[in-house]
Amino acid sequence: MNSTRIVTGVLAAAAFGATAQAQITLTDPVLLFEATNAQGTGQIAIPINALNFDVNGNYSWLLAGGPVDIMDGPNVLATITSASVGYKNYNPAFPVGVQDLKSVEVAFTVTAGASDTSFIVTSGLSSFANLFPGELRATSGMTLTDSAGSPGGATIYGDQPGGAYFSTFYNAVGGVPATGTTFADLLSVGGSQSVGVNGSTSWSEDYPVTPGTFDPVGVAIGSLSSQWAFTLTQGDQSGTSSAFFAIPAPASVTLVGVGLMGLRRRR
């Protein structure tokens, strides 16, 4: 059995209005949580009408009002304790030439249910007028915590290619998120991480490795999306943060010149 719920949450600070800037377009849902374990399979979908947008065509959503359970019928498969998603389109505070930086930013914390639980968390697809030539950057970080009352310590396994946890994609196929060309599979750390009873650990990985730099992929970039996939032991908790940026080349040189290269994942 598969159960899907729609969560609207509470919008971030509102600043509604039209913009003269070129717009990004987003697929619906804008964030999809999927959880599978011995008790079943369920989904939480964040619909596009839950988004806040500002005058520059930037979009955001923030979970508020308490944790949300991912269910399959009466069974609680997992719990989302925090979540946010953002889609950047235009920043007038940046210099001309870099104002059109695009990004997909996802952060969340989940707790596994009554058995080891596999999670897939997929952003929506952000599409925009081609950036050519385009440059890309991906940042990611996560934590693993052994929860009180869970059996033994905690272990987490990366379910993306090569044991990675987080993957980024550009130039989607057929308007579907998490398709197209893979830019980077991050946080492999040998495929798994473990902590002892009441333990906690965190790790991160960015690509390119040098802080703030971008990779000139050599093609036009017209869309971005990202996906987390991992398996977490019973009752334990993991938190994530990530960002995937696209910028027109050679705009990254301008960023260096004005000290804006500290584009990092959200904490």
Task: Single out the residue of 32, 35, 43, 38 nearest to residue 3, CA to CA.
Answer: 43
Q: Mind listing the pLDDT tens digit for each residue in 243-262?
A: 999 998 765 544 544 444 44
Instruction: Give a yes or no: residue 266 inside a domain.
Output: no
pTM of the model: 0.90
User: DSSP letters along 201-262, please?
Assistant: EEEEEEESSSTT--EE-SS-EEEEEEEEEEEE-TT-EEEEEEEEEEEETTHHHHHHHHT---
35 and 70 in contact (C-beta within 8 Å)? yes
Instruction: Give a yes or no: residue 205 inside a domain.
Output: yes
Instruction: Give a yes or no: residue 121 inside a domain.
Output: yes
Instruction: Give a yes or no: residue 265 inside a domain.
Output: no
Owning domain of residue 71: 2-258
Q: How confident is the model at residue 21 (pLDDT cuts 50, 70, 90)?
A: low
Task: Single out the residue of 206, 221, 166, 173 nearest to residue 24, CA to CA.
Answer: 221
Instruction: Give a yes or no: residue 247 inside a domain.
Output: yes
Q: How confident is the model at residue 9 (pLDDT cuts 50, 70, 90)?
A: very low
Instruction: Give a yes or no: residue 267 inside a domain.
Output: no
Instruction: Give a yes or no: residue 36 inside a domain.
Output: yes
Q: Mind listing the pLDDT tens digit for each residue in 85-104?
A: 999 998 888 887 778 899 99
Task: Name the domain count of the chain.
Answer: 1
Q: Please report, as a single letter, which amino acid is at residue 3.
A: S
61 and 30 in contact (C-beta within 8 Å)? yes
Q: Mind listing the pLDDT tens digit for each residue in 183-223?
A: 999 998 777 999 999 999 999 999 999 988 999 999 999 99
Instruction: Give a yes or no: residue 65 inside a domain.
Output: yes
